[in-house]
Amino acid sequence: MSNSAVKKLGRMLLVFGCGFMLMPSVLEAHYIWIAAEAKLSPGKTKEVSLCYGEFPHRERAGRRLEEIAGIKAWVRSPSGTVTAIALAEEGNSYSAPIAPKEVGIYNITAVVDRGVVDWTKYNLGVVRAIHYARAQLALSEEEKPEAEDNLGPYLDLDIVPVTETVNPAAGSPATVRVMFKGKPLPHSKVIVHADNDWMREIKADAWGIATFTTPQAGHYVVEVIYTDWTPGEYQGKKYEATRHRATLSLESVRSKVE
């Protein structure tokens, strides 16, 4: 074999090897998120979408969307009433109708428990995988009430929006608090995804607080992963840890100064 052929083969093996090493992060990079315009209209039903994939790229039915077939969703009204949402598969998402009746902030939450999965070959072990998603919609353009009883947390792993408005202005700071089972999750890695594939990684402080700036108007998904290394058993299967993965969907709007 000539030297050029050997070098070419070496490059091919290197590319293959790098691709193989990246497989765990690629295969397990999926999460759920909620897609919707943040503004509601009085007396009108709004359809929100529960999506699965890597924002903004969605999986479709017949491919991997079935992995979240057990997804459940709820809407919490401004007065605190929680109602389960009937979901319908819509090709590349699950559709959820929201019919607002009160003025104020609506919290949409979703959970899918994928059960016990063996991800040993991806260096993740045998884990119970649980996904969470959250979004806030508003029936008015008023700022959030001062009381935090409409902020949550509402999920085991929750990214709680603490910015004054549902729609943070582009170029302005947006703040979230990462909570696990009702307590701040310190120093967690927070990843912010934009709908143009822009991404930024930040770190929460000792109180679970993370602040970031959206560079432009558009839709954003904030993501956090937390692994609880407490072993257990679920549906007759033993697992080494529980892998929690949560998202918060935000819509950043143009600054009124622009």
Domain regions of the chain by residue span: 15-252
For residue 30, pLDDT over 80 is answered with yes
Residues 226/188, Cβ–Cβ less than 8 Å: yes
Q: In the predicted model, what is the mean pLDDT of the chain?
A: 85
Q: Which ranges constitute the DSSP H helices of 46-130?
A: none
Q: What is the pLDDT of residues 71-115, one digit of tens each?
A: 999 999 999 999 999 999 999 999 999 988 888 889 999 999 999
Enumerate the β-bridge partners of residue 239. Answer: 232
pLDDT of residue 17: 42
Residues 162/145, Cβ–Cβ less than 8 Å: no
15-252, superfamily in CATH?
Immunoglobulins (2.60.40.10)
Closest by CA to 246, choosing from 34, 48, 87, is 34
Q: What is the pLDDT of residues 12-28, one digit of tens each?
A: 433 334 443 444 444 46
Task: Return the structure tokens found at 62.
Answer: 């017949």
In the chain, pLDDT over 70 holds for what percent of residues?
82
pLDDT of residue 92: 94
For residue 145, pLDDT over 80 is answered with no
Q: Which ranges constitute the DSSP H helices of the chain?
A: 3-27
User: How many whole angstroms separate alpha carbon 119 and alpha carbon 112?
Assistant: 18
What pTM was estimated for this model as a whole? Answer: 0.85
